[in-house]
Amino acid sequence: MARPFSGPPPLKMDFSEKVNTNEIKLKDPSNLKKLNICQAVTNALDTALASDPNTYVFGEDVKFGGVFRCTVGLNAKYGTDRVFNTPLSEQGIIGFSVGMASAGGVPIPEIQFADYIFPAFDQFVNEAAKYRYRTAGRFNAGGITCRVAYGAVGHGGNYHSQAPEAHFMHAPGLKIVIPRNPIQTKGLLLASIRSPDPVIFFEPKILYRMSEDMVPVEDYTIPLDKAEVIREGKDITLVGYGASIRHLQMAAKMAEEKGVQCEIIDLRTVVPYDIETLEKSVKKTGRLLITHEAPLIAGAAADITANIHERCFLSLHAPVKRVCGYDTPFPFVYEPFYLPNRFRIFDGIMETMNY
């Protein structure tokens, strides 16, 4: 009788974080509430709707709370004029958002799954991103912050798992933001909503209820132009964003047992990313590994690699290592092998250290 497959035991880690009061300036740092990412999104949207009557939240099934329940209670509180459902048309949702933003509104549309954002691609790339430029500053679509449920979830298969951020990186005028936890989610989402540029805010849906932190109750923002060093080290720099940060933290713990001290940086804003923070770290460690769920070819890691080679070539002790999704359609039963988990990242760390 064949032995049943049993994978390695899970690595137990506490991923909770405390508020970084050096970055987040609060009136009352003690006024905190335990929230997951889903609840942090709701809290941020509530804050935005309450603070600006020109703000609107809409999308497929948003009125009753959305499929992930991130907009629960907002329609009852603010009414259907400000929180409402749309037809099942991603192109229409973003086209409507461009028109609303150009007229001075603050639209916060939701695309239910990142996999279905592509019908709206033209509206993002040719309209929202270019509107300020093509009208010589007379009009703009900078008020748009599009929330998108994003990434692998363990059982989503080909059409509910994709990470399409790289498709939008080549569109000057768009910002791309991806948070890692509830504290970051609230602060980055509010900063995105108040940004003068259109933002695609990808929310790692696998973390919606998995990630919990004590989150400030008051209104606050986190800068969109700064990466964050969340662990200091001297041997190798690890860079990621969103759910990949947890895999980097687990791999760093495994590497530590081998005597390797890893520095971990969360990009947070993928476009425009904070190259200065990355450069400073790589010049210290001499090594760099970048990870993301999206495929390897032409991903965010490729652009960062090129930039680092230009800026840090004489400081590098090894080539930059990319540990990413494979260049295949996103699989269903083979998802555990496709994703850049802690084991693939650990192997990449040791390969780079032993170069």
Known catalytic residues are: 90, 160
Are 166 and 118 in contact by the 8 Å Cβ rule? The answer is no
Buried b (16+ CB within 10 A) or exposed e, 276-305: ebbbebbeebbbbbbbbbbbeeebbbbbbb
Is residue 93 within 8 A of residue 59, CB to CB? The reply is yes
Q: What string of DSSP letters covers 300-339?
A: HHHHHHHHHHHHHGGG-SS--EEEEE-SSPPPSTTHHHHS
Positive or negative, the Cα torsion across 209, 213, 218, 220?
negative
Find residue 292's DSSP bridge partners. 324
Coil/strand/helix, residue 217: coil
Residue pair 268/228 in contact by the 8 Å Cβ criterion: yes
Any residues with CB less than 8 A from the CB of 113 and at least 6 apart, and which? 148, 149, 159, 160
Beta bridge partners of 257: none
Neighbouring residues of 114: CB distance < 8 A, sequence distance ≥ 6: 148, 149, 150, 151, 162, 163, 164, 202
**Residue 47, token pair as written in the block:** 């804050």
Beta bridge partners of 212: 36
Tokens read off for 42? 């709701």
- Half-sphere exposure (Cβ direction) of 292: Cα atoms closer than 13 Å: 30
